Each structure stands twice: as C-alpha cells, then as structure tokens.
C-alpha cells in the first residue's frame, strides 16, 4: 500500500539562516518502516542546482550515504549564494511506494547546521518531472508536505525527522486512509464523493461510500485527532448528527487538542481544530512544534494572541466525557503561515521553546519497533505516555536508558511516537 511516486519534487523557500549555503543531508522513503531507496540503483535522474558532483541532488536520495561526518559525497548543497526559492527533483526508474518520509537536515560533523533547508513543499507525481522552476505547476501531482524542516541538532549524529504527510483528498476522486494501528478520525477537510478503504493491521476492515457532507470540516469541534486502543475489527464507521465521520468504540478514546493561549494579550485561550502536528522535544534544547490548521478562519484570532503559546494537550474521553486532559507540548509562537490553494486553505503554526524537566524513572510497555542507530537505542511506541519527558530514565522490554529526544508525528491516518537514547 502507501503512496506511489515516479518523481518527488522539493520546493525549498529558504534555509536556517546561513548567508551562502543551502543543503539537505538525506531523504528516506519508507514503507512499513523499511527504506525504499536504500541506494542509487533505482534513481533514473536528478535535477536542480548543485555546488558540484560531490554535493549532488542524488546524494539526498541515495540511502547508502552516511548521515554523519563530512558532507563531501554524502549531502546536497545548492550553488553558492543560492539559498532561496530552489527546486530539486528525483525521478525513479521504477515508481516507489512509501508511507513515510524521513529527512536529515544539512550538517557537517554536527556544525554548519544553519545551512539546512527550512520551509519546504514536497510534491509527488506519477510523471517524469524535469522543470526546476521554483513552485512551477506539476502535472498529475499531489502535495504531501508544506511546512518546515527542523534544524539539525548540533551533534555529529543521525537526526531523523519524520514528516507529517498531508494528502489533499479533495483533489482526488477517491482516497485511502492507511490505518497503521487503530484510529478514530474527525473530518478535517470536505471530500468529494469517494470510497474510503479503512486499512488495519489485520487487512481491509470496510469500504464506505461517502457523500461530500459525510466528511466535512466542523469548526465547532475542538481537537481533530483520535486514537482508539482496540483491534480494527471492533471499529465501526458512522456519521453523527453533526455530520462528521468517526470511528467509534466503547473503549476510551485518546484525543489531541490544539490551544492558542491568550492571557499575555489579555484574551481567553482558544481551542482550534487541527489536521496534524509534529514535534521534537529535548531537555535543555529547543523544542520544535508545527501544527496544521485546515482553514484560515482562525488567522485573526491567532494574530490577536501573537504573544501567547501553541499548546498541544492529550486527553482521554469515554462516552463523551473527558476523563483527563494534560499538556504534552507548549512552545512560543514563532510563525503563522497561511496557504491558499485552489481547493484547500490552511494555517501552519511553528513554535520553539527551551524547557528542562525533573528527571524520573518510568516503566513503559507497548513498543512496536526497536533499532540501534549510531550506538543509540531508538524505540517506537504504540501509544503516547503523557508524563514522559526528555531526561527521564525508561525501562522498556530489556532496555534501560535515558531519553534524549522524543519525536511526534500525528495525523488522522498516522501516529508515530519515537523515543531516542541520550
């Protein structure tokens, strides 16, 4: 399953602040956590400005290249002083299917991290695309990502950033929601008539024909993302009287909330529905948060609270009653960018803050993937732990380690929470 692309196109607006250089270290396409571009064998051609053959566009998409050490022959750099409005393209010999994009931003042995790309739009096409004009129209294409890359950590290490992908379903005659686990979904955008196959870990659960009103954005419902901790076979699909679709179950529901605080601006807090968010948390280092709002309706309310914070809460709901709601991430508001497409409109909020936490020890369960990267343990969790913070010591399966980094990538059809050893 997943998304299939012949060409992948990156339109890069700017870098992280360097005055001369723009680059990216790597971009991996994964399907069920397996890298689909492990080397250059399936790369037909690449296009875009590059400093030299040793800093080629192909380096990004060649999964055999090192993510650490020198950048020579392991990373892409644009031509010197070309740091804004750049397009690079990779065309595959055989179309590649994937459900996850993981990037490592530019660095050279842990330094020069401000050369990395910042505001990036990623588009795929089923055609061979060669036009390197920045943000030019692309035939038979789908925008998967239109947000920011985090700056690489200031250390000579792999710094995987998992991107939250958003397919504009309104531009498609049909759509699939890939259920990596068990999800409940409030509608995010209005859909054209379509059939949606709900895919669970045990296969196709059900296919449902939808009319446009069946999945429509409902501004009255704060919080847009739900995860249901029951087997997919127990999930039913229905639309309630408010005309938003959901997966329902008798078990408790994990719900995420986006709040913009207003006290500093002498205003009340406001809950805003969101389409997705991604975040990276470190103790004593900047926390990064990006949240996508699938409408521009709230831009004035956000602007009025420009001195406030972006807050992500996690709550448990049962039978319509919120049993617990706790803040898991809170940052200052750095940016509020608006995107006006022919069909969809959105706001992308970006925030940073530096926090420290009191260390504690926790016993965790529910790991779904363990890896060892550069000698450090990485564990992917099936469910989030609301009180887990960077700096905590965790006991999970047979491992005990201090958490150095927590990464979140949450959307209606995707949930990924990774913890990495310090």
Q: Counting every residue, how long is the chain?
A: 422
Report, as an integer, the average pLDDT of 16-29.
95
- Residue closest to 362 by CA, chosen among 328, 399, 388, 390: 388
Mind spelling out the 3-state secondary structure of the chain? CCEEEEEEEEEECCECCCCCCCEEEEEEEEECCEECCCCCCCEEEEECCCCCHHHCHHHHHCCCCCCCCCCCCCCEECCCCCCCCEEEEEEEEEEEEECEEEEEECCECCECHHHEECEEEEEEECCCCCCCCCCCCCCCEEEEEEEECCCCCCCCCCCCEECCCCCCHHHCCCEEEECCCCEEECCCCCCCCEEEEEEECCEEEEEEEECHHHCCCCCCCCCCEEECCCCHHHCEEEECCCCCEEEECCCCEEEEEEEECCHHHCCCCEEECCCEEEEEECECCEEEEEEEECCCCCHHHHHHCCCCEEEEEEEEEECCEEEEEEEEEEEEEEEEEEEECCCCEEEEEEEEEEECCCCCEEEECCEEEEEEECCEEEEEECCCCCCCCCCCEEEECCEEEEEEEEEEEEECCEEEEEEEEC
pLDDT tier at 51, thresholds 50, 70, 90: very high
Query: The tokens of 162 are what?
Result: 């998992």
| pLDDT given for residue 208 in this prediction | 31
Give Cα separations from 271 to 256, 334, 339, 342, 379 (angstroms): 11, 18, 20, 27, 31
Same-domain pairing of 215 and 345: no
Q: Which residues contact 105 (CB under 8 A, 6 or more apart)?
A: 16, 24, 25, 113, 116, 117, 149, 150, 151, 152, 159, 161
Same-domain pairing of 73 and 204: no
| pLDDT given for residue 314 in this prediction | 83
Task: Tell me the C-alpha distance between 368 and 383, whole Å.
Answer: 10
Given 252, 281, 308, which residue is the final one in a domain? 252
Query: The tokens of 235 are what?
Result: 């999930």
- Residue closest to 316 by CA, chosen among 227, 418, 389: 227
**Which position has the token pair 């950033």?**
161
Same-domain pairing of 95 and 152: yes
| pLDDT given for residue 387 in this prediction | 83
pTM (whole model) above 0.85:
no
Task: Tell me the C-alpha distance between 422 and 405, whole Å.
Answer: 7
Same-domain pairing of 177 and 151: no
pLDDT tier at 166, thresholds 50, 70, 90: low
pLDDT tier at 309, thresholds 50, 70, 90: very high
| pLDDT given for residue 251 in this prediction | 57
Same-domain pairing of 285 and 413: no
Same-domain pairing of 74 and 188: no
Of the ranges 80-84, 197-201, 325-329, which is most confident?
A: 80-84
25: pLDDT strictly greater than 80: yes
pLDDT in tens, 82-126: 999 999 999 999 999 998 899 999 999 999 999 999 999 999 999
* Percentage of residues of the chain with pLDDT beyond 70: 78
Say if residues 330 and 280 touch (Cβ distance below 8 Å).
no
Identify the residue with better confidence: 382 or 311: 311
Report, as an integer, the average pLDDT of 334-354.
83
What's the structural domain count of the chain? 4
Same-domain pairing of 27 and 85: yes
36: pLDDT strictly greater than 90: yes
Same-domain pairing of 143 and 211: no
pLDDT tier at 177, thresholds 50, 70, 90: very low
Identify the residue with better confidence: 192 or 103: 103
pLDDT in tens, 226-256: 332 322 222 222 222 222 222 233 356 778 8
pLDDT in tens, 353-407: 888 888 999 998 888 888 887 788 989 887 777 789 999 999 998 899 999 989 8
298: pLDDT strictly greater than 50: yes
Please give the residue range of the domain that contains residue 403.
361-421
| pLDDT given for residue 3 in this prediction | 85
Same-domain pairing of 350 and 297: yes
Given 315, 335, 354, which residue is the final one in a domain? 354
Same-domain pairing of 268 and 321: yes
| pLDDT given for residue 381 in this prediction | 85
Identify the residue with better confidence: 375 or 34: 34
Same-domain pairing of 13 and 155: yes
Of the ranges 54-63, 146-155, 412-421, which is most confident?
A: 54-63
**Which position has the token pair 């196709």?**
204
Given 162, 196, 219, which residue is the final one in a domain? 162
- Residue closest to 362 by CA, chosen among 405, 403, 319: 403
Same-domain pairing of 335 and 383: no
Task: Tell me the C-alpha distance between 36 and 418, whole Å.
Answer: 20
| pLDDT given for residue 311 in this prediction | 95
Q: Rg of the chain's alpha carbons, rounded to an integer?
A: 21
């Amino acid at each position: 399953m997943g998304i299939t692309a012949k060409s992948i196109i990156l339109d890069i607006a700017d870098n992280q602040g360097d005055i001369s250089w723009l680059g990216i270290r790597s971009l991996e396409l994964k399907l069920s956590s397996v890298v689909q571009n492990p080397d250059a064998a399936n790369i037909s051609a690449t296009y875009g400005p590059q400093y030299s053959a040793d800093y080629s566009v192909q380096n990004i998409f060649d999964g055999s290249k090192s993510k650490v050490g020198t950048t020579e022959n392991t990373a892409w750099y644009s031509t010197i002083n070309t740091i804004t409005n750049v397009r690079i393209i990779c065309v595959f010999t055989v179309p590649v299917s994937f459900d996850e994009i993981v990037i490592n931003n530019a660095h050279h042995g842990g330094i020069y991290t401000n050369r990395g790309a910042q505001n990036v739009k990623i588009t795929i096409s089923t055609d061979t695309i060669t036009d390197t004009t920045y943000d030019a129209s692309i035939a038979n294409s789908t925008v998967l990502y239109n947000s920011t890359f985090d700056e690489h950590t200031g250390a000579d290490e792999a710094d995987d950033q998992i991107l939250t992908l958003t397919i504009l379903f309104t531009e498609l005659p049909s759509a699939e929601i890939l259920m990596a686990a068990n999800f409940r979904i409030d509608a995010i955008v209005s859909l054209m008539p379509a059939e949606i196959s709900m895919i669970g870990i045990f296969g196709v659960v059900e296919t449902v024909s939808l009319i446009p009103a069946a999945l429509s954005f409902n501004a009255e419902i704060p919080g847009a993302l739900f995860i249901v901790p029951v087997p997919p076979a127990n999930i039913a699909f229905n639309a309630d009287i408010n005309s938003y679709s959901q997966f329902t179950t008798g078990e408790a529901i994990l719900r995420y909330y986006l709040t913009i605080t207003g006290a500093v601006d002498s205003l009340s807090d406001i809950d805003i529905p969101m389409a997705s968010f991604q975040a990276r948390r470190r103790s004593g280092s900047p926390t990064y948060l990006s949240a996508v709002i699938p409408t521009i309706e709230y831009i004035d309310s956000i602007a009025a609270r420009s001195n406030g914070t972006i807050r992500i809460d996690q709550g448990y709901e049962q039978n319509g009653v919120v049993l617990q709601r706790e803040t898991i991430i809170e940052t200052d508001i750095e940016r509020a960018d608006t995107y006006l497409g022919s069909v969809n409109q959105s706001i992308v909020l970006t925030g940073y803050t530096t926090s420290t936490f009191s260390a504690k020890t926790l016993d965790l369960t529910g790991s779904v993937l363990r890896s060892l990267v550069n000698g450090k343990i990485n564990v992917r969790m099936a469910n989030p732990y609301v009180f887990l913070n960077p700096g905590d010591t965790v006991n999970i399966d047979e491992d005990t380690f201090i958490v150095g980094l927590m990464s979140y990538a949450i959307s209606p059809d995707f949930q990924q929470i990774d913890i990495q050893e310090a």
